[in-house]
């Protein structure tokens, strides 16, 4: 079993470029010691076509009362990949669940390195949720000289279906200004 996990991790590192665009989590937190693991894919939708953005493998673990930690490997096949860590705190459990999440990632491409922060506010219930997610990026070259900074704001809705494994469909709208944005479709499969 350990060999299978190591092979899966190495495969994900090899095949995993783009920012992590999907969330694949509700505002609830897992009980301490409980784990949820999954896979997912994200796509950009426009008027005419659907473009593949990235693949990801993610895991989350209950860390303590109202706390959860997570990790992701994400990217584009054979081009580049990233690793992300995040921590989530549940602010409110009733009548609506509300959580704040902060993620940070490093994305390595063929010629540039990206360092990103992902602040997020999630609200809803376990089966239907939405919220805000930002993507703030710094880009460097191999000499660690800063090339540019940019940010995107996003709103999203998502859900969870099934009794295990779970299907997690999501729709995101990321924008720099309200006139031009990107619609991202995500589909995840999770196991407890």
Largest CA distance in the chain: 50
- C-alpha–C-alpha distance, residues 111 and 153, integer Å: 26
Q: Residue 142's pLDDT is what? A: 64
Tokens for 70?
A: 């997570």
Query: Cβ(189)–Cβ(32) under 8 Å?
Result: no
Give the pLDDT confidence score for residue 125 in this predicted structure: 95
pLDDT tens column, 21-46? 889 999 999 999 999 999 999 998 87
DSSP state of 28: S
* 9, pLDDT greater than 60: no
Helix (H) or strand (E) holding 121: strand 113-124
Residue that has been written with the tokens 């991790």 in this structure: 9
pLDDT score of 16: 38
pLDDT per position as a tens digit, 51-67: 888 889 999 999 999 99
The pLDDT of residue 18 is 59
> Into how many domains does the chain fold?
1
Mean pLDDT across the chain, nearest whole number? 84
Q: pLDDT over 90 for what percent of the chain?
A: 54
Q: CA–CA separation, 62 vs 159, rounded Å?
A: 20
CATH number of the domain within which 183 lies: 2.40.128
Confidence of residue 106 (pLDDT cuts 50, 70, 90): confident
Q: What is the pLDDT of residue 108?
A: 72
Please, which pLDDT band fits residue 49 given cuts at 50, 70 and 90? confident
Task: Name the residue range of residue 88's domain.
Answer: 2-22+29-191
Question: Per-residue pLDDT averaged across 155-178, rounded?
Answer: 92
Measured between alpha carbons, how far is residue 99 from residues 67, 74, 130, 185 in Å? 9, 23, 11, 22
Predicted structure pTM score: 0.81
Per residue in 82-103, pLDDT (tens digit) is 889 999 999 999 889 999 999 9
pLDDT at 180 over 90: no
- Dist CA 8 CA 18 (whole Å): 20
């Amino acid at each position: 079993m350990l060999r299978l996990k190591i092979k899966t991790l190495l495969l994900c590192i090899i095949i995993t470029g783009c920012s992590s665009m999907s969330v694949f989590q509700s505002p609830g937190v897992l009980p301490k010691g409980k784990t949820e693991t999954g896979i997912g894919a994200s796509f950009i939708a426009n008027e005419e076509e659907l473009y593949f953005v990235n693949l990801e493998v993610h895991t989350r673990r209950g860390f303590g009362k109202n706390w959860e930690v997570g990790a992701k490997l994400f990217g584009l096949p054979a081009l580049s990949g990233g690793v992300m860590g995040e921590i989530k705190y549940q602010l409110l459990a009733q009548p609506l669940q509300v959580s704040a999440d902060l993620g940070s990632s490093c994305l390595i491409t063929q010629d540039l390195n990206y360092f990103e922060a992902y602040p997020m506010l999630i609200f809803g219930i376990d089966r239907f949720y939405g919220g805000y997610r930002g993507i703030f990026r710094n880009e460097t070259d191999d000499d660690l000289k800063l090339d540019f900074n940019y940010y995107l704001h996003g709103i999203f809705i998502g859900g969870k279906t099934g009794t295990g494994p779970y299907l997690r469909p999501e729709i995101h709208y990321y924008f720099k200004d309200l006139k031009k944005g990107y619609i991202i479709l995500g589909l995840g499969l999770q196991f407890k």
